[in-house]
Amino acid sequence: MSIIRVTKEFAFETAHALWNYDGPCRNVHGHSYKLFVTLSGEPIEDAGNPKNGMVIDFGDLKKLVSEQVVNIFDHAVVISNMVERENLDALNKMFGNVLVVDYQPTCENLVTDIAERLKPCLPDNISLHSLRLYETDTSYAEWFADDNI
């Protein structure tokens, strides 16, 4: 059997601010993120299995990514834990969904975080091949498993 890659697209709205940044992205602002999740595996070869011929049911992939990524980041304000405590307290009062992370919330670091959230949740016979996270229509960061061994 052949190894096949399958990809599903997701979308979510997230705001962030870059701590100690020297440009306009130091201010809270939002993006309409598009995430492409590509998995790799062998399609099931079992005529009696309702998933016969699939690497993964796209519905199962949607559920997984929704639980581990979209439901967490959608309509959240993502802020580095390096922000001063009083500013974090003010953000928590102002916004209902503040996600404090242990990294600078750039597109590059977000896609790495997403990879780490997804990898342990995949079935044993399926691997995360790559992620592509669009921050704008013309700017994205990519994560590839082969680059991160």
Q: Tell me: the pLDDT tens digits for 32-79?
A: 999 999 999 999 999 999 999 999 999 999 999 999 999 999 999 999
Q: What residue spans define the domains of the chain?
A: 4-75+106-148
Q: Would the pLDDT of 1 be above 90?
A: no
Q: Name residue, tokens 């309409």.
A: 32
Of 10, 125, 18, the C-alpha closest to 67 is: 10
Active-site residue set: 25, 75, 135
Instruction: Output the pTM of the full model.
Output: 0.94
Q: State in words which class domain 4-75+106-148 has.
A: alpha beta
Q: Considering the chain, what is the average pLDDT of its residues?
A: 95
